[in-house]
């Protein structure tokens, strides 16, 4: 791995120190600058720099004025705009639409350093600062909003982000290849329109520009007006979008927005292992820019971790990884990973423990379709659901070999696996289970069964519940053989489409019978463009058209969450309400399957009283309303209403 290079310019002083009078690309982002490949501004900035372009970073600018966009002068080529590593709305709000208390991607975890739907004002300010300079939107937020989509926070269908932001192009998916190619074309004197043919970009045509007609390579989706007015049309568009996500056979998608067409090209082809090694071997400092005086919480999560692959063929309906990173696994070479580990071990600040070696999923390393001729035409949305495809290579051998060599690097004391394990794959390899349980579990291993109900698991595209139970048995057996007491930490989702009180109560009973007490519960959030978001919005499965229960109200969602943590005394009354509502009074009492007792404990009463007091304190009483200024109504001297 290359020695660290100077940080990319974050200020005008940084730019002057490099002797630059102008830059080619200004990268605008809603995140603080950490020079690590886990952050988009760092990996894309380093890739552009390696290609010979001068890059400056505008991190978390004050969007209330265009002045920050003039910090580095007019960029010679374009503004590259991203909301950050997360969709800004998910970054800002909980599943209950409440403002989050912190932002892991900001110094000190402070909130308020980026706007809602950050891509839109960032693009608009770039236009205002330097009219005529191309604006390229990218990142997760732009990727998941490139066509008409359901927006959970406004509870309506919104148009493509291209129209709201006025961006010239939206680069979706992982952006290393496309951003360099755009820079090269613009540097060669071509225009943004000359970049419209690139894979992995979407763009809006002008009202007078000709629209590509339907053909074998072009598919028209229901228009924005249709999907906004008709849920059946929305379902049709959602299913069509997901069936065109393969880079090998995906077609150009066209969606009309009034008189304008939004055009999405096929996704980028998977990058080679050589290119993956190149991206991750660039000279990152692996630290925040020295101008930050407060810690950035996100760094603590990834500081001592190593990414070995990207992409996911799981196709879970609630997950955006496949839509953004792609279904094809792209892996680094063993040599590249070991080189990074050696560089980490040489760092005097390194503790000796690698916190994670993995990616979106820990055990998909070097797994690909074994039949390229089948992969070329396949349109399956998941390689492992409803069953593992017979064409999928599931050999854990390369991963086991990498894990063994990783823990033998001098200076490395421990290599842990913290990324989620794909249990249906792991249980196929006794060798992997032995390596994992003997050397790579720090007492607890995270897994994500998500639910226990067959119908809900089908809606999620997750394996049957028996898979989790089988994996748990194998894990315990392998841990016992290794002479270690190790535990699984299962993650479950509350309020996913298809899950009603009946299904959640059955899950709660399973948790009690098996002694699981989840510390963390994931509340379902409908992410834009996900199949599960379409289920939530329409109440139907886009792929089958079948109706499904949906927990919409905040009260219903609170009951489902409480059932997952029925053992917490403060949840007593919510669990009681849910059981009574579902006709399951048999689970209230002293029986072995009972979730709560017949009488509320003192802690539950205190919690309810404290909550009522907080709600009362937040209530504004009439006596607290300030008096309006005199003359608040025309021709009236005083503020009091006459009898």
Q: Is the pLDDT of residue 575 over 50?
A: yes
Same domain, 542 and 631: yes
CA 638, distance to chain mean position in Å, is 56
Q: Is the pLDDT of residue 295 over 50?
A: yes
Q: Write phi, then psi, for 477 (nearest 5 degrees).
A: -60, -45
Same domain, 42 and 127: yes
pLDDT at 612: 80
Instruction: Reduce the secondary structure of 204-236 to three states and give it as a string.
Output: ECCCCCCCCCCCCCEEECCCHHHHHHCHHHHHH
- Quote the radius of gyration of the chain (alpha carbons, Å): 26
Query: Considering the chain, what percentage of its residues have pLDDT values greater than 90?
Result: 89
pLDDT tens digits along 374-424: 999 999 999 999 999 999 999 999 999 999 999 999 999 999 999 889 999
Q: Which residues contact 347 (CB under 8 A, 6 or more apart)?
A: 286
Same domain, 115 and 23: yes
Structural domain contains residue 407: yes
pLDDT at 625: 41
pLDDT at 614: 74
> Could you tell me where the beta strands, DSSP code E, fall in 55-214?
55-59, 78-82, 135-138, 149-151, 156-158, 169-171, 201-204
Same domain, 409 and 450: no
pLDDT at 324: 87
8 Å CB contact between 498 and 455: yes
Structural domain contains residue 231: no
Structural domain contains residue 493: yes
Q: Which residues contact 247 (CB under 8 A, 6 or more apart)?
A: 199, 266, 267, 268, 269, 270, 326, 328
Same domain, 396 and 457: no
Same domain, 590 and 445: yes
Helix axes 397-406, 430-439, angle to 10 degrees: 20
- Do β-strands 78-82 and 25-29 pair in parallel, antiparallel, or remain unpaired? parallel
Looking at residue 501, which CATH number applies to its domain? 3.30.750.200
pLDDT at 606: 85
Alpha-carbon distance of 367 to 378, in angstroms, equals 16
Structural domain contains residue 360: yes
Same domain, 24 and 65: yes
Which secondary-structure segment (H or E) carries 535? helix 531-538
Structural domain contains residue 377: yes
Q: Which residues contact 207 (CB under 8 A, 6 or more apart)?
A: 258, 259, 260
Least confident window among 321-325, 377-381, 573-577:
321-325
Same domain, 403 and 453: no
State how many domains the chain has. 3
Q: Is the pLDDT of residue 610 over 90?
A: no
Residue ending a domain, among 208, 231, 257, is 208
8 Å CB contact between 329 and 309: yes
Mean pLDDT, residues 246-275: 97
Q: Which two tokens stand for residue 117?
A: 């739907």
Same domain, 34 and 116: yes
Mean pLDDT, residues 548-559: 93
pLDDT at 617: 63
Confidence of residue 611 (pLDDT cuts 50, 70, 90): confident
Q: Is the pLDDT of residue 58 over 50?
A: yes
The whole-chain average pLDDT of the chain stands at 93
8 Å CB contact between 238 and 221: no
pLDDT at 3: 73
pLDDT tens digits along 129-176: 999 999 999 999 999 999 999 999 999 999 999 999 999 999 999 999
Torsion on CA atoms 100, 104, 107, 111, rounded to nearest 10: -10
Structural domain contains residue 250: no
CA 230, distance to chain mean position in Å, is 28
Q: Write phi, then psi, for 195 (nearest 5 degrees).
A: -100, 0
Confidence of residue 640 (pLDDT cuts 50, 70, 90): low
Residue ending a domain, among 208, 237, 261, is 208
Same domain, 445 and 409: no
Alpha-carbon distance of 438 to 431, in angstroms, equals 11
Confidence of residue 618 (pLDDT cuts 50, 70, 90): low
- Do β-strands 149-151 and 156-158 pair in parallel, antiparallel, or remain unpaired? antiparallel
> Could you tell me where the beta strands, DSSP code E, fall in 547-637?
none
Residue ending a domain, among 178, 208, 238, is 208
Number of CB atoms found within 10 A of residue 348's CB: 4
pTM: 0.92
pLDDT tens digits along 442-492: 899 989 999 999 999 999 999 999 999 999 999 999 999 999 999 999 999
Structural domain contains residue 261: no
Mean pLDDT, residues 563-578: 95
pLDDT tens digits along 329-372: 999 999 999 999 999 999 999 999 999 999 999 999 999 999 99
pLDDT tens digits along 488-539: 999 999 999 999 999 999 999 999 999 999 988 899 999 999 999 999 999 9
Looking at residue 37, which CATH number applies to its domain? 3.40.50.280
Question: Tokens 């791995």 label which residue?
Answer: 1
pLDDT at 559: 96
Confidence of residue 631 (pLDDT cuts 50, 70, 90): very low
State the first-to-last Cα distance of the chain, in angstroms, to the nearest integer. Answer: 82
Q: Which domain holds residue 341?
A: 304-416
pLDDT at 632: 38
Q: Is the pLDDT of residue 1 over 70?
A: no
Looking at residue 391, which CATH number applies to its domain? 3.30.750.210
Same domain, 396 and 456: no
Same domain, 45 and 89: yes
Structural domain contains residue 255: no
pLDDT tens digits along 217-252: 999 999 999 999 999 999 999 999 999 999 999 999
Alpha-carbon distance of 523 to 491, in angstroms, equals 11
């Amino acid at each position: 791995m290359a020695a660290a290079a100077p940080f990319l310019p974050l200020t005008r002083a940084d730019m002057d120190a490099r002797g630059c009078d102008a830059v080619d690309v200004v990268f605008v982002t809603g995140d603080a600058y950490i020079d690590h490949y886990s952050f988009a501004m760092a990996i894309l900035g380093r890739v552009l720099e390696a290609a010979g372009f001068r890059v400056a970073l505008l991190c978390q600018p004050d969007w209330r004025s265009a002045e920050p966009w003039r910090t580095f002068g007019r960029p010679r080529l374009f503004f590259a705009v991203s909301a950050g590593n997360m969709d800004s709305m998910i970054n800002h709000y909980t599943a209950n639409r409440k403002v989050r208390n912190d932002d892991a991607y900001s110094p000190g975890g402070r909130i308020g350093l980026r706007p809602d739907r950050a891509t839109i004002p960032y693009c608009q300010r770039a236009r205002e600062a330097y009219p005529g300079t191309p604006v390229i939107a990218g990142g997760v937020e732009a990727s998941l909003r490139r066509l008409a989509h359901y927006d959970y926070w406004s509870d309506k269908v919104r148009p493509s982000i291209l129209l709201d932001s006025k961006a010239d192009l939206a680069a979706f998916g992982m952006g290393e290849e496309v951003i360099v190619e755009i820079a090269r074309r613009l540097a060669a004197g071509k225009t943004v329109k000359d970049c419209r043919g690139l894979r992995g970009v979407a763009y809006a045509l002008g009202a007078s520009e000709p629209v590509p007609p339907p053909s074998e390579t072009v598919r028209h989706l229901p228009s924005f007006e249709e999907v906004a007015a008709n849920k059946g049309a929305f379902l049709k568009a959602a299913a069509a979008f997901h069936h065109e996500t393969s880079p090998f056979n995906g077609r150009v998608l066209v969606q009309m927005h009034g008189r304008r067409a939004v055009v999405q090209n096929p996704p980028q082809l998977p990058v080679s292992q050589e290119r993956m090694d190149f991206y991750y071997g660039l000279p990152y400092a692996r630290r925040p820019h020295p101008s930050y005086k407060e810690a950035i919480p996100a760094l603590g999560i990834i500081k001592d971790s190593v990414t070995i692959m990207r992409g996911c063929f799981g196709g879970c309906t609630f997950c955006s990884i496949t839509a953004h990173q792609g279904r094809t696994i792209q892996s680094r070479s063993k040599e590249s990973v070991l080189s990074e580990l050696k560089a980490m071990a040489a760092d005097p600040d390194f503790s000796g423990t690698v916190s994670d070696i993995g990616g979106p999923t820990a055990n998909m390393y070097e797994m690909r379709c074994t039949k390229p001729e089948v992969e070329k035409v396949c349109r399956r949305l998941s390689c492992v659901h409803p069953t593992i495809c017979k064409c999928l290579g599931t050999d854990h051998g390369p991963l086991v070999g990498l894990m063994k060599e990783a823990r033998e690097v001098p200076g490395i004391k421990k290599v842990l696996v913290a990324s989620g394990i794909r249990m249906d794959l792991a249980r196929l390899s006794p060798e992997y289970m032995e390596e994992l349980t003997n050397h790579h579990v720090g007492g607890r291993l995270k897994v994500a069964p998500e639910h226990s109900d067959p119908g809900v698991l089908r809606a999620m595209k997750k394996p049957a519940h028996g898979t989790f139970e089988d994996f748990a048995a194998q894990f315990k057996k392998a841990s016992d053989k290794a002479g270690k007491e190790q535990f699984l930490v299962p993650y479950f989702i509350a309020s996913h489409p298809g899950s009603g009180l009946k299904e959640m109560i059955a899950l709660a009973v399973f948790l009690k019978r098996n002694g699981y007490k989840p510390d963390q519960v994931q509340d379902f959030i409908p992410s834009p463009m996900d199949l599960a978001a379409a289920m939530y919005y329409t109440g139907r499965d886009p792929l089958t058209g079948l109706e499904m229960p949906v927990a919409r109200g905040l009260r219903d969602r609170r009951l489902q969450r409480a059932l997952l943590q029925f053992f917490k005394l403060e949840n007593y009354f919510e669990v009681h309400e849910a059981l009574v509502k579902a006709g399951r009074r048999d689970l209230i009492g002293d029986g072995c399957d009972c979730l709560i007792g017949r009488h509320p404990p003192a802690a539950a009463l205190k919690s309810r009283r404290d909550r009522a007091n907080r709600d009362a304190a937040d209530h504004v009483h009439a006596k607290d309303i300030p008096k309006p200024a005199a003359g608040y109504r025309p021709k009236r001297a005083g503020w009091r209403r006459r009898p």
